[in-house]
Structure 1
Amino acid sequence: MTRSPQLSLPVHLPDDETFASFYAGENMQLLAALRNLALDQGERIVYIWGAPDSGRSHLLHACCAEMNSSDAATAYLPLDMHAMMHPGYLDGLESMALVCLDNIDAVAGDKDWETSIFNFYNRRKELSDATRLIVTANAPAHQLSWALPDLASRLSWGITYRLIELDDAQKLSALQLRAELRGLKMPLEVARFLIKRISRDMPTLLNALDQLDRASITEQRKLTVPFVKETLGL
């Protein structure tokens, strides 16, 4: 479980979103940087930007899972849920081993949240053994509309990566990987059928995989195109 002051938040880190289940595609360098960060090697601040549903949250969940397995204290704040939180949740987080600020673009223009994040960065800088920090957004920091212009400069500390979306061929491989990790064999023709017949975004594809996994266990059937059609009503 993630150890953080906001345990009362309705936030659950998925057990299946780990480094092993992340299909990197063209993001091998980013994946390596995050693995190193989790091991307390290399860069200690990483800013990741990319399109919605490109896997940003998965990577943060993976980092938390990796460090939690070593009993390191981590904090994950999904800032797209900031309406359910208080900016004061950042107070004291600089003492954690890892802090993840997911979807920071959601609080751009909110002066209270920006001030809290700005102060957190400053407190962190004063520590000799500062927390490792990962921030995600849908755009580079300098392109977001901040109420505090100096916050963009704080967010540029460390290293910035763009998370490159998977193309359709890579999504096929990602889908097969996630199926394999569940103990399911997904033939290529089944993966291709899913890509063609339902939305191509990974959350939708993985939700479909959840349904297929449950149905396969219940009915003791393999993944075939007829079974997929029947289960998903396609």
Structure 2
Amino acid sequence: MPQDELRFQYPLLALKFPDDETFASFYPGKNAELLTLLKNSVVGIGEPILYMWGESGSGRSHLLHALCSEIDERGESVAYIPLHHHRSMTLDIFENMENMTLVCIDNVDAIAGDKKWEKALFDFYNRWLDNKENRTPGASLVIAASDLPKQIGIELVDLVSRLEWGACHHLEPLNDEEKLGALQLRAQLKGMRLPIDVGRFLLNRLSREMCMLLNTLDQLDNASLEAKRKLTIPFVKEVLRL
């Protein structure tokens, strides 16, 4: 069986979270309160149910990966379900997850309009609510989507109602100054020095999507190490052919 297929059928056995998507590497911007709530979940005092929503590139998956990594490192049971890959999964993926310390469900809007998946998630949600007494104290269910429950196209009304339970937080997108701060933080964690003028140049000349900017930073890091040169605007232009 291909590794990707194994990963989606048995996420607890084969899933490895990205090393660079941690709480330490997340630049909060206006999301300090949400970051604190998620960190509280690591020590068992977080929200029992948390729904967070934000536009693509706002860091939803980053935060879920970070939370899962922290709980996993403690030896607790963790499930991360990327529903944008639901066509590579089977409906029984939710079986017994109501017993886990942490369940993170990413991109729940990806199953909107799929009656079988909506019903499977609804049934799991009910089991999670009913199984509170049998779980580890402080267990959390964290769900991420692109918008509020009523705005993501879910057709099962009862599921929309369930998704509205618990705490709901908007993941605010970063403005340009905050994106510059995020780039400098990531550079610092990689042992790089990103001058402010170079960071502003990247923001002005490239896509402002954080995923694209961070990938470009990785490219520049590799090029800088190979050429043994500091990051300057002329060097960036040369590497990126701008």
Instruction: Output the aligned Cα RMSD.
Output: 1.9
Q: In the aligned structure 2, how far is the partner of 1:75 from the partner of 1:155?
A: 18
List gaps (5 residues or longer) in structure 2: 1-6
The equivalent residue for 1:148 is 156
CA displacement at 1:7 relative to structure 2: 3.3
Q: In the aligned structure 2, how far is the partner of 1:38 from the partner of 1:129?
A: 19
CA displacement at 1:8 relative to structure 2: 8.8
CA displacement at 1:119 relative to structure 2: 0.8
The equivalent residue for 1:13 is 17
CA 1:58–1:186 in 2, change beyond 3 Å: closer, same or farther? Answer: same
The equivalent residue for 1:30 is 34
Matched, 1:115 2:123: no
- The letter of the residue matching 1:154 is R
Matched, 1:164 2:164: no
The equivalent residue for 1:57 is 61
Instruction: Kindly indicate which of the two structures has a greater share of residues assigned to helix.
Output: 2
The TM-score with structure 1 as length reference comes to 0.94
Question: Equivalent residues in 2 for 1:127-206 (5 A)?
Answer: 127=131, 128-130=133-135, 131-206=139-214
- The letter of the residue matching 1:39 is V
**Are the equivalent residues in 1 in contact too, given 2:11–2:79 (CA < 8 A)?**
no
Percent identity over the alignment is 50
CA displacement at 1:146 relative to structure 2: 2.0
List gaps (5 residues or longer) in structure 1: none
Q: In the aligned structure 2, how far is the partner of 1:15 from the partner of 1:55?
A: 15
Matched, 1:231 2:231: no
Q: In the aligned structure 1, how far is the partner of 2:220 from the partner of 2:74?
A: 33
CA 1:146–1:7 in 2, change beyond 3 Å: closer, same or farther? Answer: closer
Which aligned segments of 4 or more residues in structure 1 are displaced greater than 6 angstroms?
none
CA 1:164–1:106 in 2, change beyond 3 Å: closer, same or farther? Answer: same
Q: In the aligned structure 1, how far is the partner of 2:105 from the partner of 2:80?
A: 6
